[in-house]
Amino acid sequence: MKEANIACMVTLRDGAGGGALKGAQAAPGAHAAPAPTPGTTAPSTTTTSSLPLDLLFLSYEFSHATFSGNGVLACSQVRALAGRGHRVTVVCARPDDDGTGEAEEGEEGGGGAGGRGGPAPAPVPHRVVALPVPAAKWGTLDGRAAWREYVAGVAAWAARPAAAGPAPPAAVLAVDWSGWLAAAALCSAWGGGRGRGRPAGQARPPATPAVVFLNYRVFTHSACSPDGCPLSAPVRAAEADAVAGAAAAVALCAADAADLAALAAGGPAPPPPAPLAVVLPALRPEFAALPPPATPPLSPHRTLLLCCVRLAPEKEPGRFAEVVERLAASGALARHGVVPAVVGGGPAGDPSAAAVRARVTAACPAVFILPGFLGPPALAALYERIALNFHPPAADAFGMTVVEAGSRGAPSFVADGGRVGATALLGPAGGACLADFGQPAAALAAQVDTLLADRAGLADVGARARVAAGGWDEAAAGAALEAVVVGVVGGGEGA
């Protein structure tokens, strides 16, 4: 396999790093991430385009009935690109709750899901076209989603004379495998292939916009149903095809970028893979604009051991349930004055979410359970009540709740090994407690017990996390994503 061209775009605020975890050393296997390597620098995020670009953003989930971090991140990226002067049109899906079967079109300015309550981001207009899909299939992003209906809807929309305006967009940004399939259908409707950009000295065919593949999660390494069956062949093929056929690909962590390169290299006659970049998601402006936490790090009100993830198989919430069972059985929860909290919804019709809640409730009847998707104000208040945030997956493209909790001074217990993207931001500053999640639950429970016994050490981790979380904002992330797009199209209007 050829070595992937991975440019990791990470910025940490000056002074965020330094030193190992003070006073919070856990049992063997749990530790704070190391300090940043002296002399390392981040790539420049200076704008390289002189004129605004017309961009088309394809994301199954966006601002309508947002149910996961995908919608939050899509809104953030669109808001950032529009804020840099680019003209962005979003074509997304929406659950057809009203049964009209009609697309909804209009201007949005606050980023949709990211602006529900609390300090709103500055208005940044962008056009949104929301295509109806069966409501019964809403709430998941894998093979069970209404992706066929979404792809067909994008193709039908693209066939409309006014869809592309006077000319096709300079680039199409396609989120995940479903966005890639939608981009393929769109380019076909416009009479061109999926462009890889403009070769040196040649003009790109006007009907073939360059496609940038935005990979929020490598679904090939995930699960497609509650019983954990492997993903269907079409989904695997779409991800491999996206890396092979896109003008560029963007992942949320270096591990995912390496996985994508491996997918592209695994074909029978693999073409050179698309250039790969890593652009970390930014802390949402709603969190960045909040005043300092009202609850001090050592406050007796920080009593929750939190699991705040979507209760879906790929997030492995069962690991948290098993650790809680062991902590309760050993008396550790009572000894530390901590109660577990399970916050988050799950895919419609998936019994695993209810099973996790039931296990934790049986282990500790005082558990705090809040199903559903919370907006920033409610999340911020929740984070200020926790002693430790337990992020259960062994691999997660990013894990935004880890960064959001850190922004409120709350430390997180996270898988080591670089397969949770948030550790690239918080880890070098000593802002996370890392452990080998390949260990048995008994070992992880012992490490959590040790961490909870040293609240001063956890407070130090939380303080470091708060500084690091604020060091990579939406403007910086938008500049990094813009650099990828401009590198593909060459910059300038009509490129």
CATH code of the domain in which 91 resides: 3.40.50.2000
Residues 291-349 pLDDT 10s? 899 888 788 889 999 999 988 888 999 999 999 999 999 999 999 999 999 998 877 67
Question: Domain check: are 307 and 277 in the same one?
Answer: no
Question: Domain check: are 62 and 153 in the same one?
Answer: yes
Instruction: Provide the residue type at 204 as one letter.
Output: R
Would residue 495 count as lying in a domain?
A: no
Bigger pLDDT: 430 vs 493:
430
Instruction: Provide the residue type at 160 as one letter.
Output: R
Is 413:445 a contact under the CB 8 Å cutoff?
no
Question: Domain check: are 119 and 262 in the same one?
Answer: yes
Spatial CB neighbours of 292, under 8 Å, sequence gap ≥ 6: none
Would residue 480 count as lying in a domain?
A: yes
Question: Domain check: are 87 and 194 in the same one?
Answer: yes
CA nearest 209: which of 127, 91, 76? 91
Question: Domain check: are 86 and 33 in the same one?
Answer: no
Question: Domain check: are 197 and 291 in the same one?
Answer: no
The pLDDT mean for the chain works out to: 80
Would residue 494 count as lying in a domain?
A: no
Question: Domain check: are 456 and 370 in the same one?
Answer: yes
Mean of pLDDT values over 368-373 = 85
Domains held by the chain: number: 2
Question: Domain check: are 157 and 295 in the same one?
Answer: no
Question: Domain check: are 370 and 273 in the same one?
Answer: no
Which segment of 133-147, 257-271, 373-387 scores lowest on mean pLDDT? 257-271
**pLDDT score of 351 more than 70:** yes
Whole-number pLDDT of residue 166: 60
Would residue 221 count as lying in a domain?
A: yes
Would residue 124 count as lying in a domain?
A: yes
Spatial CB neighbours of 129, under 8 Å, sequence gap ≥ 6: 89, 90, 91, 92, 103, 104, 105, 157
- Long-range own/partner contacts, residues 122-128 (CB < 8 A, 24 or more apart): 122/83, 122/285, 124/79, 124/82, 124/83, 125/82, 126/78, 126/79, 126/82, 126/87, 126/88, 126/89, 126/90, 127/88, 127/89, 127/90, 128/62, 128/63, 128/89, 128/90, 128/92, 128/104
Q: Is 264 left (phi over 0), alpha (psi -120 to 50) or beta?
A: alpha
How far, in Å, CA of 493 to CA of 175, rounded? 23
Residue that has been written with the tokens 């050490």 in this structure = 457
Q: What are phi and psi of 164, to 5 degrees?
A: -90, -5
Question: Domain check: are 335 and 270 in the same one?
Answer: no
pTM reported for the whole predicted model: 0.80
CA nearest 259: which of 24, 444, 4? 4
Write out the residue range of the structural domain in which residue 23 sits. Answer: 19-38+285-469
Would residue 412 count as lying in a domain?
A: yes
Whole-number pLDDT of residue 192: 62
Residues 22-73 pLDDT 10s? 222 233 334 443 333 222 223 333 444 447 999 999 999 998 888 888 999 9
Mean of pLDDT values over 270-291 = 83
User: How far is CA 301 from its chain centroid?
Assistant: 29
The three-class DSSP label of residue 167 is: coil
Bigger pLDDT: 493 vs 38:
493
Question: Domain check: are 351 and 215 in the same one?
Answer: no
Percent of all residues in the chain with a pLDDT value above 90, rounded to a whole number: 51
Is 126:88 a contact under the CB 8 Å cutoff?
yes
Residues 211-270 pLDDT 10s? 999 999 998 876 444 344 444 677 888 998 898 889 999 999 989 988 888 887 775 555
Whole-number pLDDT of residue 193: 56
Bigger pLDDT: 350 vs 113:
350
Mean of pLDDT values over 452-479 = 94
**pLDDT score of 492 more than 50:** no
Angle separating helix axes 317-330 and 441-452, nearest 10 degrees: 70
Which segment of 21-35, 93-107, 174-188, 363-377 scores lowest on mean pLDDT? 21-35
Strand partners, 90: 57, 128
Q: What are phi and psi of 251, to 5 degrees?
A: -110, 170
CA nearest 110: which of 141, 72, 139, 55? 72
Would residue 6 count as lying in a domain?
A: no
DSSP code of 72? H
Which of the four pLDDT bands, split at 50, 70 and 90, describes residue 15? very low
Bigger pLDDT: 117 vs 195:
195
Which of the four pLDDT bands, split at 50, 70 and 90, describes residue 352? confident
Is 279:480 a contact under the CB 8 Å cutoff?
yes
Question: Domain check: are 398 and 458 in the same one?
Answer: yes
Would residue 352 count as lying in a domain?
A: yes
| CA dist list (Å): 356 to 86, 139, 175, 370, 423 | 43, 18, 29, 13, 25
